[in-house]
Amino acid sequence: MATNITFTMIKPDAVQNGHMGAIIDKIIKAGFSVKALKYTWLTPDRAGQFYSVHAERPFYNDLVKYMSSGPIVAAILEKTNAVEDFRKLIGATDPSKAEPGTIRNLFAKSIEANAVHGSDSDENAAVEGAFFFSGLERF
């Protein structure tokens, strides 16, 4: 059964280009409530840990370098059917394939610098949220 929690990061390109506020506004207007929010900067080690599931992929080293190139915003979001609805809101990983009006369509630069991350399952939402936030039982 779907839970009502997902996890997102606003990535370095979107933060650097001043899209942080517009993206958070879009998320809230889409019906998500923000349960936790953090402006932070990943070290290469922490970025590598977060994306360790992709360690064997050809884009992994560049992804780690990019994700530690500037500040990010990490957040836990709540909404009925959160994981699926959030992935619809952000659009396809490759922004050239993202539906018009989605966050990646509006704000992403490339498949790597794709503005936002969204968890792909309830299990990963819990793991990824715990990577950045403690005390989750209070949510």
Q: How far is CA 73 from CA 7, 12, 56, in A?
A: 11, 8, 26
CB of 118 to ligand CMP, least distance (A): 6
Give me the residues paired with residue 135 across strands. none
54 is catalytic: no
CB of 110 to ligand CMP, least distance (A): 8
Task: From 20-28, 39-47, 73-81, 111-119, give the range in contact with ligand CMP by CB under 6 A.
Answer: 111-119
Among 93, 105, 121, 124, binds ligand CMP (CB under 6 A): 93
Tokens standing for 4? 């009502």
15, 86, 117, 118: the catalytic one is: 117
Q: Is 63 an interacting residue with respect to ligand CMP (CB under 6 A)?
A: yes
3-state SS, 94-128, equals CHHHCCCCCHHHHHCCCCCCCCEEECCCHHHHHHH
Tell me which amino acid residue 56 is. E
CB of 114 to ligand CMP, least distance (A): 5
Q: Is 102 an interacting residue with respect to ligand CMP (CB under 6 A)?
A: no
Query: Looking up tokens 């001043």, which residue turns up?
Result: 18
Tokens standing for 35? 């349960």
Nearer Cβ to ligand CMP (98/135):
98
CB of 102 to ligand CMP, least distance (A): 13
Among 39, 52, 59, 65, binds ligand CMP (CB under 6 A): 59
- DSSP conformational letter for 11: -
Q: Is 114 an interacting residue with respect to ligand CMP (CB under 6 A)?
A: yes
Contact assessment for residue 104 and residue 95, using Cβ atoms and an 8 Å cutoff: yes
Catalytic residues: 117
